[in-house]
Chains A and B, each alone.
Chain A
Amino acid sequence: MSTLAHVFEAAGLSTVVLASMKDVAEKMSPPRTLYCEFPLGRPLGRPGDVSFQRGVLEQALGMLGATEPVLETHPEVVESEEMPLVCSIPPRFDASLPPAVDEARGLRAAYDRAVNARGATAVGRAIDADAVTEALAALHRWAEGEPWQEVPLPGTNTIAVCHDIRAYYTEAALELATGPPPGGRAAEAWFHEDTEAGKTVMAARAALKEQGAPFPFWFYMAPAHR
């Protein structure tokens, strides 16, 4: 973003950056910067909070009166863990299936409602919603110790497939969740700590590492800090 600010200013445009990483912004010093300590991925801070978002924009646009480079800090910090995602997991239905496959089937109706409501879905980088259970079945086999080169993964690209699985789950979960909007890391925590799919992804990732699969194949299947 700071790079684009410099490029745009050189072309004759006035810019304001909402910066999420203070050190990067200070080092790159774009002309007008509002540093916001908000959850990463939420540069306006709070989803669904019109007056909060407007306040951020008014402070940012207010910097356009400056006659020299300026960096301000938004007065409020928004913590990424302030609100959990409250979503119950579907009960076991078909005990003959791997738990994650059974669970993903149970979430399908909620996922479909979410897509109908939003008119768009992030699922589809590598696989569509119909292939989520098949992908989880393959990851389950990897996690159980089968050689990854002998068990094909639908969609092939592990990073893209894991994005699709996580998107399928979180889109369904937001449809089912009650209460205020979950915090910035809440859905990630719910997926990786509470769901069978999240546990299967982590176990498959560990198995790939164990089997000596190339680093990028497994590392980016989950957030780096996990």
Chain B
Amino acid sequence: MSATTAGDEAMRAYGTQQVVPTFDDPAFTPLDKPLAKARVAIVTSAALHRPDQDRYTPADTRFRAFDRTDRDLIMGHWSPNFDHTGFQIDLNVVYPIDRLEELAADGVIGEVAPRHFAFAGNQPETVSELRLDTGPACAQELLADAVDVVLLTPV
């Protein structure tokens, strides 16, 4: 195996060893309308931020919101173990906002949400703040924007 390929394999192998949080009786929210009438938002863990927003600290549990028109975003992820160049070439490979606009224009989805959100993928291991504080706070922001569907993209 070359050093080039080893990175993703090493990280995926590490992923299998990770202790993950458990959810008793997880919720399942069916979409109560056709996708063609649904409002869709993207939430990513790529630690994206606008140049004028706070950078992420290494164990940042907060989220950043940006408008559907923002494109000059920065990937502030702290891990050196993931590719950043795909995002530099085309932000849609992490944050598919242009694709979402096209799906809305073609009537596949109803609408693109006015705001989209980012968290940092490297969270403290217990993810307690994400579960109990910043995650639910982000959900309230999404509900305030009348969002029906959230597409989650990981980095």
A binds B: yes
Give the interface of A toward B (CB within 8 A).
1-24, 27-31, 39-48, 50, 53-54, 56-58, 60-61, 64-65, 67-69, 79-81, 85, 118-122, 124-125, 159, 162-163, 166-167, 170-171, 174, 181-189, 192-193, 220-226
Interface centre among B73, B79, B148 (most CB of A within 10 A): B79
C-alpha gap A147/B108 in the complex (Å): 61
C-alpha gap A23/B45 in the complex (Å): 18
Q: How far is the CB of B69 from the nearest CB of chain A, in Å? A: 13
Identify which of A4, A15, A122, A223 contacts B76 (C-beta below 8 A): A122
Q: How far is the CB of B2 from the nearest CB of chain A, in Å? A: 7
B4-A181 in contact (CB<8A):
no
Q: How far is the CB of A113 from the nearest CB of chain B, in Å? A: 13
Q: How far is the CB of B46 from the nearest CB of chain A, in Å? A: 8
Given contacts A13-B148, A31-B26, contact A185 B93 (CB under 8 A): no
Chain B, 103-140, CB within 8 A of any chain A CB: 103, 108-109, 119, 121, 123, 127, 130-131, 135-136, 138-140
B89-A8 in contact (CB<8A):
no
Chain A residues with Cβ below 8 Å from B66 are none
B31-A120 in contact (CB<8A):
no
What are 15 A-to-B residue pairs whose CB atoms are below 8 Å? A1-B152, A3-B135, A12-B139, A14-B149, A15-B149, A24-B18, A30-B152, A39-B86, A41-B155, A48-B89, A54-B103, A64-B35, A186-B4, A187-B85, A188-B83
Given contacts A27-B20, A48-B90, contact A1 B154 (CB under 8 A): yes
Chain A residues with Cβ below 8 Å from B143 are 11-13
Chain B residues with Cβ below 8 Å from A45 are 93
B83-A187 in contact (CB<8A):
yes
A53-B7 in contact (CB<8A):
no
C-alpha gap A10/B44 in the complex (Å): 18
B29-A7 in contact (CB<8A):
no
Task: Name B89's closest neighbour in chain A (CB-CB).
Answer: A47
Task: Name A225's closest neighbour in chain B (CB-CB).
Answer: B10
B15-A53 in contact (CB<8A):
no
B27-A6 in contact (CB<8A):
yes
Chain B residues with Cβ below 8 Å from A11 are 136, 139-140, 142-143
Chain A residues with Cβ below 8 Å from B140 are 11
Chain B residues with Cβ below 8 Å from A193 are 3
